[in-house]
Amino acid sequence: MARVAAFKLALTSFLFAALFTGVEPVAAKGPSGGPADAVEATVSLSELPLQGRKTFELIRQGGPFPYQKDGSVFFNRERLLPSNKRGYWREYTVETPGSRDRGARRIVCGGKPRLPDACYYTADHYASFRKIVEP
In this structure, is the dihedral angle defined by the CA atoms of residues 42, 44, 50 and 56, taken in order, positive or negative?
Answer: positive
Q: Count Cα atoms within 13 angstroms, Cβ side, for 3.
A: 0
- Candidates 40, 78, 91, 134; catalytic one: 91
Known catalytic residue at 91: yes
- Candidates 47, 95, 125, 134; catalytic one: 125
Known catalytic residue at 125: yes
Order of strands across the sheet that contains 130-133: 42-44, 130-133, 116-122, 106-111, 89-93, 72-73
Question: 87 phi and psi, to 5 degrees?
Answer: 95, -10
Where in the sequence numbering do the catalytic residues fall? 91, 125
